[in-house]
Amino acid sequence: MKTFPWKTAVGVVLVGLMLFPVYWMFNVSLTRTGDLRADPPHWFPWNPTFEGYAAAFAQQLPALATSLFIGLGTVALTLVVALPAGFSLARLRPLGARGMDFLLLVAQMIPGVVMAMGFYAIYIRLGMLNTVPGLIVADSTLAVPFGVLLFRAFMASIPGELMAAAQIDGASTWRTFRSIILPLSRNSVITVSLFAFLWAWSDFIFASTLNRNSDVIPITLGIFRYIGNNTTQWNSIMATAVIASIPAAFLLVLAQRYIAAGVTAGAVKD
């Protein structure tokens, strides 16, 4: 393969342009409060300071913990619902499988604000407003339809002979699911878990509607309140933003190929 050094150069410039806002967030997070109003702004953190991070950690640590908990709860709920359903649709041909596909597609079209109003109306009666479980349930609605469709596509590609062999050996359907299908589906489980976690971690609509009067708030709402109350401390706001982005950055590095594969499988359906 021939290499074109100029293409690499162009690629670096494009990445630089695209990631400039991310760099800027990082730059501002390290800027001293006194320099925030500098005109023109400093292009580099000349006198880097960690005061923004100190303030962020002092004030937002509980919110980060809450988001972590909500994210993990959402992943668990999503997998419990979506894994058996994906298996059923891919392998067991239940009645109404085609209708289910259509329903899942439509479910993904419903605007979040509509779901938020529906949940609000239900939660206010059940006393589930401003609770963490309430938010876990609401957040899972983003990932469940996606998860089922992705699992179905993945499990349909597992060779049928493996299942047939297990059944000839006398394994029940549940046993086949647990011992054959689940271990083979590891990559798709990782993909769905990643997305479920990231969507729950970055959810703003449900947090700002179903949890707005709570003391226990997720990090997105923490940042939003921060912006509202604190228009001068943009270094702390940006420091919180950087911290809130760490799970995403971490997951990106760890599982880049799963993410790309997941998007492709979930989006390009036939």
Partner 1 sequence: MARRAVHAAPRRRSGRWTALAFLAPLVIYLAVFYAYPLYRNIDLSVHDYTPRAFVRGDAEFTGLDNYADILSDDTFVRALRNTAVFTLVSIAAQYALGLALAVFFHRNFRLSAVLRAMFLVPWLLPLIVSASTWSWMLNSDNGIVNAALQAFGIGQINWLTSPGTSLLAVTVANIWLGIPFNLVILYAGLQNIPADLYEAAGLDGANGWQRFWRITFPLLRPVSAITLLLGLIYTLKVVDIIWIMTKGGPADASTTLAIWSYREAFGTGQPDFSPAAAVGNLLILIALAAGLLHVRLQRKEERA
* Residues 220-259 within binding reach of partner 1 (CB under 8 A): 220, 223-224, 227, 234, 237-238, 241, 244-245, 248-249, 251-252, 256, 259
Q: Which of residues 53-82 bind partner 1 (CB under 8 A)?
A: 80-82
Residues 6+ apart with CB under 8 A from 137: 77, 119
Q: Is 270 exposed, middle or buried (0-12, 13-18, 19+ CB in 10 A)?
A: exposed
Contact criterion met (CB below 8 Å) for 254 and 191: no
Which of the ranges 2-10, 44-52, 55-63, 68-76 carries the binding residues for partner 1, by CB under 8 A?
2-10
Q: Is 49 exposed, middle or buried (0-12, 13-18, 19+ CB in 10 A)?
A: middle
Q: Which of 48, 62, 94, 133 binds partner 1 (CB under 8 A)?
A: 94
Q: Which is nearer to partner 1, 54 or 260 (CB)?
A: 260
Residue 126 touching partner 1 (CB under 8 A)? no
Residue 268 touching partner 1 (CB under 8 A)? yes
User: DSSP label at 265?
Assistant: H
Q: Which of residues 3-32 bind partner 1 (CB under 8 A)?
A: 3-5, 7-8, 10-12, 14-15, 18-19, 21-22, 24-25, 28
Q: Which of residues 147-186 bind partner 1 (CB under 8 A)?
A: 148, 160, 164, 167-168, 173, 177
State the minimum distance, in angstroms, from the CB of residue 192 to partner 1: 14
Distance CA 150, CA 175 (A): 22
Provide the mask over 96-125, with x wherever binding to partner 1 is found by CB under 8 A and - wherever it is not. Answer: ----x--x-xxxxxxxxxxxxxxxxxx-xx
The residue type at 53 = Y
Contact criterion met (CB below 8 Å) for 223 and 170: no
Q: Which is nearer to partner 1, 148 or 150 (CB)?
A: 148
Of 201, 197, 191, 192, whose CA–CA distance to 245 is shortest?
201
State the minimum distance, in angstroms, from the CB of residue 4 to partner 1: 5
Of 104, 255, 84, whose CA–CA distance to 185 is shortest?
84
Residue 209 touching partner 1 (CB under 8 A)? yes
Q: Which is nearer to partner 1, 189 or 237 (CB)?
A: 237
Q: What is the largest CA-CA distance in the chain?
A: 76
